[in-house]
Amino acid sequence: MIKKNERAWARSMAAAFLAALLVPALMAAQESPQPDRPGRQRVERPRPLADLGLTPEQTKALEDFRKARRDEGQAFRDGMGKLRVEMRELVKDPKTNQARIDALIDKMAGLSAERRKAGFRARAERDKIFTPQQLEKLKTIRSRFAVRGRLAGRGAARLGRPGAGRTAWFRSDMRRLARLRALRHRHLDRWRRW
């Protein structure tokens, strides 16, 4: 019993000693100001519209155009979200009439089709804002973005390898891993030939 008490006392003293050493060191580290490090230079992002030389009227028209497209997009997302919720509810119920599900699918497809049609109409509207020279510049800018491996004008990186689908790299890695697992049990000279 006495040995247990002595051990407990020794442990508590060691913990107190470590706390007395570590707490002030940690407090000093937090309070000391960091030396001024030179920050990384901010990379200037390409701003294609700045190179076009837009007039104030064009800038205003473009901003109005973007706002209208944002509002249309939000209305589409809201409508499609409601239809998806309704579809989930219908799918959960085993007694649901198939005709109702079919009608809802048709409604969703119609909404998507209208959205695509509106997108093509919006392109024509957008092109009316620019002059022919600006449209030519915009076309060259978009082609530069496409060459750099990005989707033209959108700035979103491509997923996966080009032309191979999004998961082709994963499948090939899985095949290679399967081959390695199979070779793991073979004799060492087999590894050299592979």
pLDDT tens string 78-119: 999 999 999 999 888 888 888 998 999 999 999 999 999 999
In a domain, 47, yes or no: no
Least confident stretch, 118-122, 134-138, 164-168, 171-175? 164-168
Residue 70 has what pLDDT?
94
Question: Residue 78's domain spans which residues?
Answer: 52-149
Residue 150 has what pLDDT?
47
Give the start-end residues of each E strand in the chain: none
Q: How many domains does the chain have?
A: 1
pLDDT (tens digit, 9 = 90+) per residue, 111-162?
Answer: 999 999 999 999 889 889 888 898 888 888 778 776 665 444 444 444 444 5
In a domain, 135, yes or no: yes
Residue 135 has what pLDDT?
87
In a domain, 110, yes or no: yes
Query: What pTM did the predictor assign?
Result: 0.49
**Beta-ladder partners of 157:** 150
In a domain, 14, yes or no: no
In a domain, 154, yes or no: no
Residue 32 has what pLDDT?
54
* Residue 171: pLDDT over 80: no
Instruction: Name the residue with tokens 């009316």.
Output: 128
In a domain, 10, yes or no: no
In a domain, 119, yes or no: yes
In a domain, 45, yes or no: no
CATH number, position 100: 1.20.120.1490
Residue 153 has what pLDDT?
45
| 46-51 long-range contacts, CB within 8 A, separation 24+ | 46/141, 48/138, 48/141, 48/142, 48/153, 51/137, 51/141
- The two tokens of residue 33 are 């100001």
Instruction: Please state, for a pLDDT cut of 90, what percent of the chain lies above it.
Output: 27
* Residue 166: pLDDT over 60: no
Question: Can you tell me whether residue 157 is helix, strand or coil?
Answer: strand
* Residue 185: pLDDT over 90: no
* Residue 71: pLDDT over 60: yes
C-beta separation of 76 from 107 below 8 A: no
Residue 36 has what pLDDT?
59
Residue 65 has what pLDDT?
92
Residue 66 has what pLDDT?
92
* CA–CA separation, 24 and 12 (whole Å): 19
